[in-house]
Amino acid sequence: MNYLQLQQLHKALTAFLVFILSTLFVASTAMAAEAPGNPDAAEGNTSYSYLADILEDEVAREQLIDDLRALATGESPAVAAADTPAPQVEERTSPAGRIAETSREFAESFVSELSNGVAALAALFSGDQSLNMDDALSATINLLVVVAVTVGLFLLLRLLVRPFFASASRWALQDTGRSAMLRKLVAVVGSAILDVGVILLAFLGGYVVALFALGTPGEMDARQSLFLNAFLLIEVFKAIIRALFASRDDGLRMLPLSAEQAAYWNAWLARLSGFIGYGILFIVPMVNASVSPAVGRLVALVVMLLAFLYALAIILQNKASVSQQIELRATQSELAFNRLLLGMLAKSWYVVAIVYFAALALVTVVRPEDALPFMLAASLQTLLAIGIGMFLSVVLSQLISRGFHVPEETRARFPMLENRLNSFLPTIMKVARLIILFVVAGFVADAWGLFNLAQWIASETGVRTLGTVVSVSFIVIMAMLVWIGLASWIEQRLNPQGEANGPSAREKTLLTIFRNAVAITIIVMTLMIVLAEIGINIGPLIAGAGVLGLAIGFGAQKLVQDIITGVFIQLENAINSGDVVTAGGVTGTAEKLSIRSLGIRDLSGTYHLIPFSSVDTVANYMREFAYHVGEYGVAYREDIDEVIVKLREAFDELMADPDHKANIIAELEVHGVTALADSAVNIRVRIKTLPGAQWGVGRAYNRLVKYRLDAAGIEIPFPHMTMYFGQDKEGKAPPAPVIIESAAATPAAQIEDKKVAATRTGTKKTTKTTKKGAKTNAKTGDDYDDDDD
């Protein structure tokens, strides 16, 4: 191919690329139609506007006419017109205009680089440029020697340290407990340091050979230096890749992949990084120095284009499989935050990868002189930020998973302290991970030039934001510590070590209410202080809360009455948790007291929630002592003194039981005959007991009284009904009028005949029946009988 053909090919390629790029960026150019793209046009528009302003101003118009006449006569115009400032036109560029401008610059740069490269190749093949083959051959041989020594030494050292990697992998797999991840991290970091050390030794070996064994001692060829620098950077990058995938060592693999998958991705990334790295850091500079910079830029463009196509093919080929693996890990994750991140990554990982390699290719075209160093530095900073963030997250997870452990003595004094401290750990972990995520995102954005982290930190906004974050964190931590301290003290008061120091029922109730009030107060005050710290004016909030409270006070008078009544009931120690009370017409055990309501569970197990505004009177059966009041009725024919003796004997037998004796705090009180009722003589006794034991003592005493009276033959009247047919003066009952409807000799008829016969003989027929509606003593709950003779 001669020079003329190369020129024609160059023109054809240039025309074709211009047509393609113009088509690609026509949309962006259309969006930027409103932006001034031509400086000359803008200047013309400014001149027209300035001339129109002069013509509108009478003084300026007269001055312009005088200047024109002076120019016509060959004189200098007046300076006044020159002193008149031209109107300033503010240049504003819309986002669409900036996109169009960037696209235009990229297209022009791409076409220019390609044109210059093709022209340089054409000049090289045409013979305009010549190479010194002897020097090139000698330099190539020396370079190959340096390459062979460096690579050979690297492979040899890798072979020698291979047993150490295997030992580190086995050591990391030995522990399967809570510290397994920390153990694995130590092994991975140690292996990575050893791997980088091998690379440094190989680099030093090649450096020594190039400096002292080849050419002039103490001098190094530029090509050899380029190779050694490229070897150091690329192999360190590959070492980071090996630390992540570790295809040969399961114990050193950080990513959840199988050995086959790790080997695949490790080989793919190693080949791609080697191709890009040695191509841009070694081949392109050599072409720049040996041929021309234009050809070097063309080679860089070809290298990046091939690398992008190769990466695109691999990414699209593994799109579904990688997404499935990430989704599987998301479903297995215990934390919702991790599931969210992994789910987002499963849907967009290939987009991020394609954008990364596309950005790498575009930056190489736009900034060929520092494209790869920029991308390499940005990639390393990204990997380091993500790696350190993951490391900190794992370390925090391991530390927090162990939880807080307090000494036995402290646990005995504060039984809920350990659980309360551990209850904050999930929230602390979520906040820590969120902070790590924001910091890592900041470093990644700074690495790619999207955000200047150092400048933002030094700016007023950054200082104010960081100060606010620190202040809010300090306030929240102090609020947590105050709550933990107060809650632990309350728990210690509610659960003392010794029974002698046990809290009273009133103290338990007040401490429970105080704990709830403290929690609400701390939350409200912390929220207000945090809002004020982040710059929100809380004055209107406080005023609005006051107005809202006033409106609630007028509109919810019942609620206010509940709260006020509840406060006074607690201050007067009327009800405590566990007391048996009668309130609001309900009798039962007080299970829960709040600032506005009382929870009572009655004898049948029904739970009643009673607002304090419905409580007019409180009857508490659990204050200091109680009485079992028993009122027992006997027949009129019984000896009252004998009955009292039997009642005392029953009490003596009750006192013989240690369980009941512990609950009785006084001797039996016999009040004597309290009433001569219709069918019984009522005798009252009273037993003084501990509060709450009166019912159990009463039931046991009633049982013993029944046994004693039955054994003595003392009658306890019970309701019965007597059928009376009347008597004549001789004391005989008149015959009962009985009508026999059928004379059939049936068993029923025979029975009826016998009843009639018994009636005619004057026998009294009495039937005793027990009535369910027996009269009940209101004080004792015992049933007693009416005897109507």
Q: How confident is the model at residue 420 (pLDDT cuts 50, 70, 90)?
A: confident
Is residue 624 left, alpha or beta, with left meaning phi > 0 and alpha meaning psi from -120 to 50? left
| Ranges 533-542, 697-706, 711-720, most confident | 697-706
Per-residue pLDDT of 648-671, as tens digits, reads 999 999 999 998 899 999 999 999
CA 362 to chain centre: 40
Tell me which range, 449-458, 521-530, 776-785, is most confidently predicted by mean pLDDT: 521-530
Between β-strands 618-620 and 597-601, what pairing exists: parallel, antiparallel or unpaired?
unpaired
179: confidence class by pLDDT, cuts 50, 70, 90: low
Position 463 pLDDT exceeds 70 = yes
| pLDDT at residue 136 in the model | 65
Residue 330 Cα to chain centre, angstroms: 16
DSSP 3-state of 621: coil
Whether the predicted pLDDT of 769 surpasses 60 = no
**Three-class secondary structure assignment of 767-781:** ECCCCCCCCECCCCC
pLDDT of res. 779? 38
> For tokens 């360190």, what's the residue?
236
- Residue 134: φ, ψ to 5°: -65, -50
> What's residue 31's pLDDT?
34
Total-model pTM: 0.50
pLDDT at 771 over 60: no
Mean pLDDT of the 343-347 span: 83
Minimum mean pLDDT range among 134-148, 269-283, 493-507: 493-507
Q: What is the mean pLDDT of the chain?
A: 75
Q: Please list, residue by residue across 489-524, b when 16 or more beta carbons sit within 10 angstroms of its beta carbon and e when fewer do.
A: ebbbebeeeeeeeeeeebebbbbbbebeeeeeebee
> What is the number of other CB atoms lying within 10 angstroms of the CB of residue 355?
11
Q: What is the mean pLDDT of residues 709-724?
A: 83
